[in-house]
Structure 1
Amino acid sequence: MNYTLHQLQIFLKVVKTQSVTKAAEELHLTQPAVSIQLKNLQDQFDIPLTEVVGRRLYITDFGNEIAEVAEKIISQVEAINYKTMAYKGQLTGRLKISIVSTGKYVMPYFLTDFLKQHPGIELLMDVTNKSKVISSLEKNEVDIALVSVIPTTLNIEKLDLLQNKLYLVTNSNIEFKNIGNSNEIFKEIPLIFREKGSGTRQTMENFIDRNAVVIRKKLELTSNEAVKQAVIAGLGCSIMPLIGIKNELHNHELQIIPYKGLPIKTTWSLIWLKGKKHAPAASSLLEYLTKEKDNIVADKFSWYEQY
């Protein structure tokens, strides 16, 4: 037997995704490269690891057993690497963060310098909607989470990072005859919502209820990026976080429509379960951000104050 760690890592990704194509995408490799490494691993066994039925890839029982062992091997290798770095005085370990989908425009800027200072830390960041973020936090599956709407069902602690502003946005080519009466907007074009469970959706619905806004037509899409592209295409308007439309405003693909009560202002906050005993990686990140968050905001988000 002469298989490599690289081959085992690729095989594990194929097992988890049930697809050579998806494994290649997640590993940032070409599909032929993954197929070659999978074949090289298979050649060392007389029993098939995978089989293809009707163009669909299946993992055999033997393949699943090998995957279980491979996962343990890779975990032990990672442990060796962590111990080596720790022995040299470097901070190591996994940092598990769950963030709401729009948070992808925020969180990387607060992580970059910290991770450069601590190359021994492995980041696992899940980008999803608010309900799934809160579920992961509640189950203690992550160290910290980034949200713009603080959950009322959990006993949490928080660190505020950045103000979140939401504006009414449309395609730049759309013109309104009576811009002073913003209610006319919703008579002319649909309002586009995020899916239920989204923090942006919750914020929008609260605003509509408080202001008794009458919506005649509405569309629902399942990601902030999908909403943005739909608005750019002229399918409707939406109340969107400013943080995610910087380039589109600059390129005049989108325009902000004045509306009474807007922008809605919330706060991007890191939250964690009250009393949680953080591992060194998460504890160090929170300590770092407590000291550096204002500098990061001034350096990376100065454009934000123009709106």
Structure 2
Amino acid sequence: MIRITFRQLEILQAVADCGSFSRASEKLHLTQPAVSMQIKQLENLLDMPLFEHAGKKIRLTEAGNVALRSAGIVTRELNDLEQSLANLKGLRGGVLTVSVASTASVFAARLMALFRRQFPDVEVSLNVVNRETLLRHLTENVSDLALMGTPPEGYQLSAQPFMDNPLVIIAAPDHPLARKRAIPLKRLLEEPLVVREPASGTRGALENFIRERQLPFKPTMEMNKNEAIKHAVEAGLGVGLVSLHTVQAELTSGQLSVLDVEGFPLKRQWFLVQRDGKRLSPAAQAFAELVLSKGPSIMAAAETKTG
């Protein structure tokens, strides 16, 4: 049996992440010779080189990539053990990592705040990312759970809807269409259209809606954040599509208005998503239960405050 230590696997992961022995030593608060020695010992145990030099940089060999994948599995299993033990202690500890689509950041922060009040000893991490990164977090097991719009097909994911997510067309308050009613879609498409990047769920929903009506989808400007869309629309650069949940404050203050367009709002839902077959830690299970039971009421309370 190969007697590899967890410390050696931890150092392997750090060197692979940092791309150098010196940066890994700083990250781990070790000397560079100590890091080099541990990697050398690991290579001797495996009887294969794990890194190779490419100019001034180092990169994993094929054996190194195999070892790194195994190190990740071992780390996740030990984390699962830690979480299971935390459950026996009544969630007095443990780690929770949640990734959320940027459009969900408003209510996700409120949910996380409520969770922290109930379980103050759990170490939490909330990653607000775009849809593409969120899916990578799920498939690579970086996150325990995710909050997002409809997950795409072709991924091994389990999803539970927990709240409606109406998508609306916004414009500046002085926009010519702001006081119109039942605006035809064709008329709307005469305006400059500000949308999210191609991988975005909201953009996909709008694109499908327009093309199902056999109309051309021709966005004028692309933004990678909802805040950028709101600022662009407020500045008069066009009209945009956003989740109604992301513009409550701007609607209340009069900075933006929702256009009355035929067929809108688009009916979508928010989903709680995890990898198929993933064993949720006690902390993740508690957060999932919180989302499913409290999500809609928390958002309703927030909208009442801003309304």
TM-score normalised by L of structure 2: 0.68
Q: CA deviation at 1:229?
A: 0.3
Contact 2:170 2:258 in 1 (8 A): yes
Q: Which residue of 2 aligns with 1:205?
A: 207
Q: Deviations over 1:217-251 (max 9, x none)?
A: 61111211101100000000012111111111112
Counterpart-to-counterpart distance in 1, 2:100 and 2:149: 10
Counterpart-to-counterpart distance in 2, 1:63 and 1:300: 44
Q: Deviations over 1:68-121 (max 9, x none)?
A: 236xxxxxxxx9xx9x98897543111111111111012122222221111111
Residue 264 (structure 1) aligned with residue 266 (structure 2)? yes
Q: Which residue of 1 aligns with 2:149?
A: 148
Q: Deviations over 1:195-223 (max 9, x none)?
A: 12111111111111112334566111121
**Secondary structure, in 3 states, of the residue corresponding to 2:268?**
strand
Structure 1 residues 131-140 or 286-295, which shifts more?
286-295
Aligned positions, number: 240
**Secondary structure, in 3 states, of the residue corresponding to 1:264?**
coil
Residue 281 of structure 2, aligned match among 279, 284, 287:
279
Q: CA deviation at 1:277?
A: 0.6
Structure 1 pair 241–294 and aligned structure 2 pair: CA distance change class (3 A)? closer
Structure 1 pair 178–98 and aligned structure 2 pair: CA distance change class (3 A)? closer
Counterpart-to-counterpart distance in 2, 1:258 and 1:247: 19
TM-score normalised by L of structure 1: 0.68
Q: 1:1-307, aligned counterparts within 5 Å? A: 62=22, 64-69=24-29, 89-176=90-177, 181-182=183-184, 183-187=186-190, 189-214=191-216, 218-302=220-304
Counterpart-to-counterpart distance in 1, 2:219 and 2:98: 36
Structure 1 stretches of 4+ moved >4 Å: 59-64, 84-90, 177-181, 301-304
Contact 2:207 2:217 in 1 (8 A): no
Q: CA deviation at 1:264?
A: 0.4
Counterpart-to-counterpart distance in 2, 1:211 and 1:254: 27
**Amino acid of the structure 2 residue aligned with 1:162:** M
Q: Which residue of 2 aligns with 1:5?
A: none
**Secondary structure, in 3 states, of the residue corresponding to 2:231?**
helix
Unaligned runs of 5+ in 1: 1-17, 19-58, 71-78
Structure 1 pair 180–286 and aligned structure 2 pair: CA distance change class (3 A)? closer
Between the two proteins, what is the percent identity of the paired residues? 26
Structure 1 residues 110-119 or 150-159, which shifts more?
150-159
Contact 1:145 1:272 in 2 (8 A): yes
Counterpart-to-counterpart distance in 2, 1:179 and 1:205: 22
Contact 1:85 1:120 in 2 (8 A): no
